[in-house]
Every structure is written in structure tokens, then in C-alpha cells.
Structure 1
Amino acid sequence: MAQVWKCSGLRWSAEGPALVWDGGRRSALPWGKRVAFAVPEGGVRTCVGARGHVCPVGAVVPGRSTGARCEECARLDRAHSVAADTIADDPRPYRVYLAWFGPGMVKVGITALERGPARLLEQGAVCFSWLGTGPLMAARRTEELLRAALRVPDRVPYAEKRAVRSALPATEPERAAELRELHARAVALTGWPESLRPEPCQVADHVGAFGLEAAPAASGEVVELVPGGAVRGELVAAAGPDLHLAAGGRGAVVLDTRLMTGWELLHPGPGPAECAFPAREFTREPDGLF
């Protein structure tokens, strides 16, 4: 019987991205690596549980869910989540950041100081700058100040991020311009919490870390994994939870690794580069009228 694996997701470190498997095994993902896996015929996607606990009922979850959790486990997972604003007494220092994903796509967020830039890599931020550092609730109030005063959102949908990733400005100064302008407007606001220390604008660019400079343009994205489906391709870039795979056809296809969780996966055996999972093409606005 073929050996099966369960994926826990994509993790970022100073060495780059790696797929993590149940049991703690990691598969490093250098550019050019061949990525290949299949979902067995008759396979079923089950809930991954929450906070180290297995799902008590082994619930079946939809193929298009990026969380891979049933309603009860999703509720448990968010019960003690900083992101869900359910913790008010975390004593750790936090940083407020501005993240840029493409033209017109900037968000404000917070992350624990001890995590460094990991949160920005996980979100697929093309570039970012710190805005301030302080206690959790001060960071929260600053985040809300920017949302109210400057209409900066705290979320950008992944579908929008990946659709523009292949058409980013070519140079770092061009990519940083929007962040620098917004940072200046943010620090000029009145009403900052006294306990939050402002930080200078120092834009960090992740185009190199993500491998986007030399990667072929992505033409579409996998929407779900299905029993009997498989993918074989060469890793050409990665950003956030996404793998950009040259898998035959035109351009690269983007695979959100969160769609892999909850499935039992196996090696598909030899074969040509291809993506045999349902996918949709990115739609782009025409450049102009002729």
C-alpha cells in the first residue's frame, strides 16, 4: 500500500519556505524543486482539529475551505486568537505594520515583536514597514485609528493579492512609494496612544525572498483538491501560503497550500508536468480601448 502523508501547511523562516507534515517532518522548497502529490481515489478531506487537539467527530470539510476546520473546531481555534481580538491581557510587546501587496493594496496589522517579519512573509506582503511598537491594546488602538482616519483596511483577500503578483512595479522604489506616503500620513495623525513608540519608515522588500523577479507570470490558481487529482510541477516562486508551480500549459499555476490540509496525500508517480485539479484563470482588465 502506498504511503500517505498529511500536510500541516507552509512555514517561512530565514532559510525560505518549507512544507510541514504531520509529525513535524519538513520539506524545504528551494526554487526549481519538483513538487508532486496526488489525492487518492475515494479520498475524503477531514477537519484538522484545533490547538493541538484532533476533531472529536472527524468531520468532513469542503474542498474549497482554506481553514480545513469544522464550525466547532474553527470556533475553538479563534477563542484565544490575537487576530480575532479575543485577547486583551497579552503582556508581550507588539508591532504595528503597514503591508503592501500591489498597487492600491495596503493593509495595517499587528504582530508580536518576538515574531519579527514572519507574519509578513506568511501573508505574502510584497513589501512592508513597521509603524510603531508597544503594548497589545495600544497597537490595537493604533490599528483602529488608521482604519477610521485613513480608511486603511486590516485585510486584503488572498485572491486579490495573487491576481496582481505577476504585474508588480519593476523596481523597489516604485514598490515602496505607496507605503512611504501612507507611513508619513499615519505618523502625522493625532490621537496615537502615548504608550506606542512610532518607528521610522524603513521599507523591506520581499520580491527576492519570494522568487518573483525571475518567475514566469501566473496564469491562474487551483480552487480545490479533489479525489483522483494530482499536480506535478517545478517551484518557481512562493509567497505567503502560495506555491507558484510551472505545471505545464501557459504560465505558472498558483497553489494555496492551505487547500492541502485535511487530505491524505501520496506520491503520484512519474509523469509530465501538469495540474489535474480544478483551477481558474486570472482575469485582467484590458489595457485600454482601441
Structure 2
Amino acid sequence: MRWSADGPVLRWRDGRSSALPWGKRVAFGVAGDGVRVCVGARGHDCPVRAAVPGRSTGARCEECARLDRAHSVAADTIADDPRPYRVYLAWFGPGMAKVGITAAERGPARLLEQGAVCFSWLGTGPLMAARRTEELLRAALGIPDRIPYALKRAVRAALPAAAAERAAELRDLHGRATALAGWPDSLERAPFRPVDHLTAFGLAGLPAPAGAVSELVAGGGVSGELVAAAGPDLHLATGSGSGGGVVVLDTRLMTGWGLGPWPGGNDGITLPVREFKEAPGVQDGLF
């Protein structure tokens, strides 16, 4: 799944795209005799078409995963990228803020892909200056550079209603960050200007999800109405059946599978679902 100016889009292997407006019926079945195959690396197919586990969000075999990360800014394997980079603070829910970097030319795409409910830029500069600033904030303020998706999903239906309240934690962190000594001289600082994605994600009034799809399986499938999307996740109203109600589908679990039409008539789900044992908003004991 990718995010366009008009919202989330599913990109298929043959280059086609499927827009995902709210209310759209998302329905597919997994080939009954299918095996999930490695998606390859850097635009190339896996040479051995290796089988990969159903619960893997990367959908790559060990060798292709190594090749993919060998050319990754996120993995710190590229140090000479001449493009300008931006440092950002992102907020996903109460107590869930992170620091990160993204290529300036990508704009807010990285934040949409991560499911950031609110974010603000911290500054722009060369890659290594952006990386040093990220490390400075992690060390001095204890801000992580990763938030587990399970935590993000659990609080989406219980976010503060007011945009100012959603931005309050970032405002405090931005102020503390800019007050630190040791920023690289080559990084141009940015003022606090929060950008809110609650409407873009369709999270206002979001029903609490029953759980999340843990993996796709051969012969299974899902059909439901799209009520929200954030990062790689689709929130689908699936009706009755196992895991009925609103279920979260991480679209990264779809890659590598052969998909076809939904075999059933009514909306439903025949995939393994990990139920939320606590109400969204509780960050301990999610499953």
C-alpha cells in the first residue's frame, strides 16, 4: 500500500493501482494451493522464489532482505547520499512519540506510511547532519526511533478529539529538542508547525477494532468495508464470522501471495485474527 495525495492506494505487481476511498469494499481470497513467495530486492525478483513465513511483514527471504538493507538509509548503509534530509517528530498516541529522518523530496509521505497521527519538522540538512540530530534527541531526551505497530493500532479508536491536544506532546518535545546544545551547524532548524492526519486517516469516530489479522493463509480471505486506514493498515468492517466487526489488516502481509476474488457472498473473514484483549488505549497486554 502507498499513500497518494488523494489517500491510500494498493499497488499491484503488474503496475496497476487500486484507490481506497472510505466505504470501498475490500475483498479477496488467497489461492487455495498457494505458497507465499519472496518479493525480491531492489526491484528484482527473488532468483530462487523462496517461500517466506505468513507472518513476515517484509515478505523477503534472508538473502533478499540482506540485499535490500545493503542500500538503505534506514539501515545506515548509505552515508554519501547528496540529497537534503528532514528530521521530524511524530506522534501516534499518548506517550508514543518518535524521532526520524526522511528525504526532503518525499514530503510527508514517510509520515503517512508510518501512520503518524500528528508530526512536525525539526530541521533540514545533509544526511549525516540529520542522522546526528536524530541520535542527539534519542540520547538526550530518550525519544525512540521506532514505535511498534501493535501499540499504534491499539490506540487509534481512543485518540484525543481536539487537534491541539493531539499536538501538545509534540509541542513540548519540539521545545525541549530545540533547546539542546550540540545541533550540527549544517542543519537548518524548523519552527513548530504541527500537521494532523486524523482526517486523512479517517480516524474520527473510528469503531474499536476486534483484532488484527495475524497472517494470510491458503484458502482464506476477507471482505469488508473500508472505514479507516493508517500507515500500512486497513480498518475493515467485516460483519459476522471469526473476528467479526472491525478488523485491522496490515497490507504488508498481502505481498508475496497469489490473490483472487472473495469466495463468499456476504462480508466476512476466514483468516487468523489476534483479538485485542484490552480496550484500545491500554498499552499493556495488547494481545
* CA–CA separation in structure 2 for the residues paired with 1:30 and 1:262: 24
Query: Which residue matches 1:176?
Result: 167
CA shift, 1:215, in A, is 2.7
The residue that corresponds to 1:145 in the other structure is 136
Aligned-CA RMSD value:
1.4
2:223 to 232, 235, 242: 232
Shift of 1:284: 2.0
Once the 2 structures are TM-superposed, how far is the Cα of residue 272 of structure 1 from its aligned partner? 1.2
Distance 2:100 2:269 in 1: 34
Q: Which residue of 2 aligns with 1:103?
A: 94
Q: Give the Cα–Cα distance (whole angstroms) in 1 for the partners of residues 262 and 248 of structure 2.
A: 19
1:270 Cα deviation from its structure 2 partner: 4.8
Query: What is the match of residue 255 of structure 1?
Result: 249
Matched, 1:215 2:206: yes
1:248 Cα deviation from its structure 2 partner: 1.1
Q: Secondary structure of the equivalent of 2:134? A: helix
Q: Which residue of 2 aligns with 1:4?
A: none
Tell whether the 8 Å contact from 2:72 to 2:78 is kept in structure 1 after alignment.
yes
AA aligned to 1:274 is G
Instruction: Mark the CA change 1:286 to 1:229 in structure 2 (over 3 Å): closer, same or farther.
Output: closer
**Which consecutive residues of structure 2, in runs of 5 or more, have no partner in the other structure?**
283-287
Correspondence for 1:276: 270
Seen in structure 2, the aligned counterparts of structure 1 residues 175 and 251 have a Cα distance that, compared at 3 Å, is farther
- SS of the residue aligned with 2:140? helix
Matched residue, 1:76: 67
Map 1:1-290; keep pairs closer than 5 Å.
Answer: 10-249=1-240, 251-284=245-278
In the comparison of the two structures, how many residue pairs are matched? 279
Superposed displacement of residue 273, structure 1: 1.2
Residues 201 and 282 (structure 1), Cα distance of their counterparts in 2 relative to 1, 3 Å cut = same
Checking the alignment, whether the CA contact within 8 Å between 2:155 and 2:280 is kept in structure 1 is no
SS for the counterpart of 1:128 is strand
Runs of 4 or more, structure 1, over 6 Å off, are 285-288
Aligned-partner residue type, residue 262 of structure 2: P
Distance 1:177 1:68 in 2: 37
Give the C-alpha shift of residue 269 in structure 1. Answer: 4.0
Secondary structure (helix, strand or coil) at the match of 1:262 reads coil
Percentage of pairs with the same residue: 75
Looking at structure 2, the residues matched to 158 and 46 of structure 1 have their Cα atoms a distance apart, in angstroms, of 23
Deviation at 1:282, TM superposition (A): 1.6
Equivalent position SS for 1:17? strand
Q: Is the 8 A contact 2:213 2:248 kept in 1?
A: yes
Alpha-carbon distance, 1:163 to partner: 1.1
The letter for the 1-side match of 2:190 is E
SS in 2 for 1:218: coil
C-alpha displacement at 1:287, in angstroms?
9.8
Partner-residue secondary structure (3-state), 1:98: strand
